[in-house]
Amino acid sequence: MKSEYLGILESTKLKRLLEMSAGVCSDIQVQISCGTDDQDLVTVTGHAKGELSLICQRCMNEFNHHLEVKFSFTPVTAKTQVDELPEVYEPVDVDEHGLINICDLIEDELLVSLPFIPMHAIADCSVDEHDTVVGEIEDIVDERPNPFAVLKSLNK
């Protein structure tokens, strides 16, 4: 038996994702399939997509970033089960009632998909990549006396 869900995850429920945004986060379109696989493992698979505004770290202007993730989970009750799972599934711990929080899992996947350093595409950015200066390395002149210089004078 397989059950399908196609719907919207309201952005107001995604507090952590909203904190990462520059203020605007669209509602997330979600498709979820729940069922069992050939090994009788319970599976939760699907994908989610939406838009999030971020601040470009090159020009410091806001831009829209497209979010899209695919996921494949299987609930586990014991750590020993994790070692036996096929690699295609990400293990998810169940709570004391045997439930998982799908909204939190989808939000986690969206957060992990965010760029480490958000930036426009170079063609869309108001700052030319040649205008960016990361820093300059100064020539270091070693002005400390050599600690072995004393030994040189003893050798004479």
**φ/ψ (deg, to 5) at 104:** -65, -40
Domain count, the chain: 1
What per-residue confidence (pLDDT) applies to 132? 61
Q: What confidence tens digit (pLDDT) does each residue in 51-106 have?
A: 999 999 888 899 999 999 999 998 887 765 777 788 888 888 888 888 888 899 99
Amino acid at 35: G
Q: Which domain holds residue 69?
A: 3-155
Region 146-156: what's the mean pLDDT? 74
Q: Tell me how far CA of residue 128 lies from CA of 29, 53, 59, 88, 121, in angstroms.
A: 34, 21, 9, 41, 11
- Ranking 13-17, 47-51, 81-85, 111-115 by mean pLDDT, the lowest is 81-85
pTM: 0.75
Q: Contacts from 92-95 at CB under 8 Å and sequence distance 24+?
A: 92/44
Q: List Cβ neighbours of 66 (8 Å cut-off, separation of 6 or more).
A: 49, 51
Q: Tell me how far CA of residue 145 lies from CA of 46, 65, 148, 149, 150, in angstroms.
A: 66, 54, 9, 8, 10
Q: List Cβ neighbours of 98 (8 Å cut-off, separation of 6 or more).
A: 75, 77
Distance CA 88, CA 108 (A): 18
What per-residue confidence (pLDDT) applies to 130? 63
